[in-house]
Amino acid sequence: MTIETTINTIVDNSEPAGNNDTLRQPISADGTPELNKVYEVPARKGRAVRVAAGQTIRIINTHGTQVCDMWAFKTGQMNEFLSMEHLHAWIDRINPRPGDAMVTNRRRSILKFKTDTSVGVHDTLIAACDIHRYRNLGVEGYHDSCADNLRLALKAIGLQTREVPGSLNLWMNIPFDKDGAIQWLPTVSQPGDYVEFVADMDCIVVLSACPQDIVAINSNKPMPVHFSVHD
């Protein structure tokens, strides 16, 4: 079966358009982390991790040049999730910063933005890359994507989401001008910059080391990121 046939026959948006090692390499069988252990999200791949209420997840831009798409879902209730459009109305800004509540589609805080050692350039507007985005960019055959990394990372720990919510695109540099025109630029973060979020409810956080290598957001060379969970 061709990639196009697979795409056209998918009826549930929880199903990926292809496959990669994200499905075969969860951090644990159900995504429960070893506290204080640093885990890698390999370049172009994704990972899902359970974060209990009160715990902190630290996400590290190890090389400084990598965008990391991030999602969060309420444990046991996958239809409640971190929502970018609801976040905009909650914080009255495009981008969050430390101190902000990160709210769900039910307008409840799922995470609290605690720390940002970077200059604070992130993106909340651009959809996660997917097979259709790469088709539009001229890619033939399968290409890893953040949307598929989300689906595969969840499937690896026995979960699924029926849709791909808008992602918090950590370190993604998408400036826009007074007319609303945007640019796709490399990150302005530095190696080792990190963000921290404190869970306000038990949740599953999914991270994707964005595979985009056609436009310059990852300096055309996707790299790994790292994360850890702490009490």
> What is the Cβ-side half-sphere exposure of residue 103, based on CA atoms within 13 angstroms?
15
Using an 8 Å Cβ cutoff, are 104 and 82 in contact?
A: yes
Using an 8 Å Cβ cutoff, are 108 and 90 in contact?
A: no
Pairwise CA distance, residues 55 & 23, whole Å = 25
> Rounded to whole angstroms, what are the CA distances from 119 to 90, 160, 166, 173?
22, 34, 22, 11
Pairwise CA distance, residues 151 & 159, whole Å = 9
Query: Which distant-in-sequence residues (6+ apart) come within 8 Å of 171 by Cβ?
Result: 61, 66, 67, 68, 118, 121, 122, 187, 188, 189, 193
Using an 8 Å Cβ cutoff, are 187 and 105 in contact?
A: no
Q: What angle do CA 22, 27, 28 make, to 5 degrees?
A: 115
Token pair belonging to 94: 């495009």
Q: What is the pLDDT along the chain (231 residues), one digit of tens a residue?
A: 566 555 555 557 889 999 999 999 999 999 999 999 999 999 999 999 999 999 999 999 999 999 999 999 999 999 999 999 999 999 999 999 999 999 999 999 999 999 999 999 999 999 999 999 999 999 999 999 999 999 999 999 999 999 999 999 999 999 999 899 999 999 999 999 999 999 999 999 999 999 999 999 999 999 999 999 999
Token pair belonging to 186: 């490399």
